[in-house]
Amino acid sequence: MQDLLPFDEVNARIWDLGAEVFLPCAASRLVTRDQVDRMCANGLEVISSGANVPFADPQIFYGPIAEHADGRVAVIPDFLANCGMARVFAYCMQPGNDLGDSAIFQDVSTLIEETLRRTHAKNDTRTHLTRTAFEIALAQLN
């Protein structure tokens, strides 16, 4: 326990450690613009959230920090990163579907792949994935 660092010290250092992928899965409204910039300066390439709202924006879906991050790195939209269980439930509720684990996994994988392909077809850059995926999803609501 003597080597345990205080939270404030860890929080001050962690954003500069360097990582290609960041998964802010444990808390909501955690990540600030400064922290995004510090991670980007140290090699960040991808952010994929867990079942939360990772950016410290008052907006739920796409506030200024989320938009800033989306313009700097590949931000996998939370509705895609977290769609697995929702898709499993939807699949299992369809009459006649094979309820084996391989069939369920294949259905979820196919949905994610199709969504990523549509997103890439509209925007083949490494950035603005979330913005593009939102545009596609919102257009489908019309």
User: Residues 11-29: pLDDT tens digits?
Assistant: 899 999 999 999 988 778 9
What is the reported pLDDT for 82?
81
- The answer to whether 118 and 136 are in contact (CB under 8 A) is yes
What is the reported pLDDT for 51?
74
Please state the rounded mean pLDDT for residues 109-113. 92
What is the reported pLDDT for 21?
97
User: Residues 47-104: pLDDT tens digits?
Assistant: 998 778 889 999 888 899 999 999 999 999 888 888 888 889 999 999 999 999 999 9
- The answer to whether 86 and 115 are in contact (CB under 8 A) is no
Domains of the chain, start order = 7-130 (3.40.50.720)
User: What DSSP line would sit under 103-140, residue for residue?
Assistant: HHHHHHHHHHHHHHHHHHHH--SSS-HHHHHHHHHHHH
Q: How far apart are CA 96 and CA 92, in angstroms?
A: 9
Q: Which pTM was predicted?
A: 0.84
Q: How far apart are CA 139 and CA 129, in angstroms?
A: 15
What is the reported pLDDT for 37?
98
What is the reported pLDDT for 124?
95
| Predicted confidence (pLDDT) at residue 41 exceeds the cutoff of 80 | yes
